[in-house]
Amino acid sequence: MIETAYGTKIAFTAPHRLATKAGFDILEAGGTAVEAMVAAAAQIAVVYPHMNSIGGDGFWLIRKMNQAPIAVSACGHAAEQATLDWYHKKGFKVSLPTRGPLAALTVPGTIAGWKLALEIDSPKHAIPLSELLAAAVKKAKNGIAVTKNQSDTLAAKKHELATVSGFKEFYLDKGQVPAVGSKLVQSKLGETLEYLGRVGLDDFYVGDMAKTHGDFLAKAGSPLIFEDFKKFKAELQKPLSINTSVGQLFNLGPPTQGMSSLAILGIYDRIRNEVCDDFDFIHRLVEATKQAFITRNLELGDPADMKVDPADLISDSYLDSSATNISLSEAADWPEIAKKGDTIWMGAVDSEGTVVSFIQSIFWEFGSGLICPETGVLFQNRGAGFSLTAGPNCLAPGKKPFHTLNPAMAIMNDGRIVSYGTMGGEGQPQTQAAIFSRYAFHGVDLQRAISAPRWLLGKTWGDDTTSLKLEKSFDEKLIKELREANHQVELVSENSSLMGHAGCVVRHIDGSVEAASDPRSDGIALAG
C-alpha cells in the first residue's frame, strides 16, 4: 500500500521514478521548483518517450509565495504552409493525418516553455542549465530500462508507427517490440540535450538545431520549416480561475481544456453532498463532466478565433445554469465525440514556498512517430487535433490547436496550495475532479484520493469508446445503482493505465508538504 509522502519543505511527484529523482535532487541541492521541473521535464522525455518529448508542447502554472499564480503557455502554432488547400491537394478533405511527416505540422513549444519559466524564476543562485539537464543526458546516453507501459504501448501502436521515418531505428529492437526491462539507448537525444545545456535553449528555435530540424522536416514532407521555428515564442498568461466553497481554483485558458476542468469542479460544488465515493458522488461528477464537455466541444479552440470570452464559460451564472441541467437521479445521454491525448504531469514544491504544476505532451502515443536522425527528437502530432471544417479549431497558418493538456492548482481557504494533474486526454479533467473532490471537498487522505478506484466517461488513454468506464474494484452495489440510473457502465481492470497517471503535491501554511503518486504509473512521490 502506497502512503502519502510527508516532508517539512520540499516535494516532487512524477509518473516515472527517475523523473521524480531528477527533480528532487535539484530541490535538495537548493534549486527552485522551476529548476527542478526543467530537470525532471528533460529526464521524463528520455525515460517516458511514449508519452512526451522535447518535440512536443508544455504548459506551466507557477505560484510564488504570497503571489497570484502565473501561467506559461508553450503551445506551438501551425506552420505557415499548413493551409486547408495544402492538405486538400494531398488528399485530406475531412480530417488531418495522425502519423508521419504530414501530422507534424505545429512547432514544438515545450523547450521555449522551459526557457520562459526559468526567466520568470530568475533565482539569486541559479543552477546552470547544463547541470539541470545532466541527469537526462546521462540516462539517454547510458540507456534506460523499458517500462511495461512503454512496451505495451509499442506493441499496440507498432502497426501505425513502424513505417514512419526513423521510428523503428530508434524505438524497436531489430523490428520487434523491446521486452520489459530491456535497455534502450538514445545517444542522439542525449547529445541534443547536452548541446542545449551548453549553448542555451534558444538554439532550438533560432540556431543550428532549428536549422537542422527545419531542413529535416521539410525534406520529410512536413509543412514545418526553419522560419516557423524562428517565429515561435512561449507566452506568459493570466490563468483562468473560479471560486469554490473550499478555495480558488486555477487552470490554463484556451487552447487548453482548462476551462472544462474548472467547470466540472464548479458545477459539482453546487450539487455535491457530503458522502464520498457513493452513487451521488460519482453520478454528480459524471453529469457535471457532460455539461462541461458539451460547452468545451462547441466553443474551445485558439482564443484568437473564439467568439466568447473563456471566463464567461466558467462564470457563476454559467455554472449555476449548468448545475440546473443535471438530474440527480438519471444519467443524460452521451453521444459526444471523445478527445484523444497522452501526456505526463508533474508537481513540485521548493523550500521558498514556490509551487509548480506542469504538463508536457506529444498528443497521441509517440506523437507523429517522426524522429530526426541527427538529434533524436521525436515530433508531436498535436496538429492532428485541428479540424478541416469551419469552427474555432479549424486549421489555419499560425493557429494554435485545441489542447487536452491542462495543469491544475488551487489556493485553499486554509492556506494550502494544491498542485495536481494527470495524463489521459479526455480523462484529464475527470481525474482532476476525482482527486480534488476527494481530497478538498471530502477530506480524503491525499494518496488514497489518487489510489482509490476511478472512473472515466468517454475516451481514455488507449481506448476510443464513449461508455462510463469503472475500475472493477468499485463496490458491486454502486455499479448496479449507476446502471439503473442509465449510465452505460463498462468495467476495466484495477489500477488500469486507462485511468491515467495522476499526482499531487500540497504545501501547507506552516511550510510542511505532502505528495502522492499514482500506482497506475511508474512514478513515485518524494518529500523532505
Catalytic: which of 295, 343, 404, 460?
A: 343
Which cell numbers hold the place of 219? 525534406
What distance in Å separates the CA atoms of residue 436 and residue 408, rounded to the nearest whole number? 10
**Catalytic residue at 32?**
no
Dig out the grid coordinates for 255 from the structure: 487552447
- Look at strands 502-507 and 489-492 and give their pairing: unpaired
294 Cβ contact partners less than 8 Å away, ≥ 6 residues apart: 336
Distance from C-alpha of 70 to C-alpha of 224, rounded to nearest angstrom: 30
Q: What single letter denotes the amino acid at residue 307?
A: K
> 248 Cβ partners below 8 Å, 6+ apart?
241, 242, 410, 411
Omega before 255 within 30 of 0, i.e. cis: yes
The 10 Å Cβ neighbour count of residue 155 is 12
Q: Which residues contact 343 (CB under 8 A, 6 or more apart)?
A: 51, 52, 359, 360, 361, 362, 404, 405, 423, 424, 425, 428
**Site of grid cell 527552485:** 32
Instruction: Compute the chain's Rg from CA coordinates.
Output: 21
Cα distance between residue 213 and residue 6, in whole Å: 43
Closest CA to 431 of 416, 420, 419: 420
Residue from 301, 464, 383, 487 nearest 98 by CA: 383
Within 13 Å, how many C-alpha atoms sit on residue 325's CB side? 18
Cα 222 to Cα 76: distance, rounded to the nearest angstrom: 15
Residues marked active site are found at 343
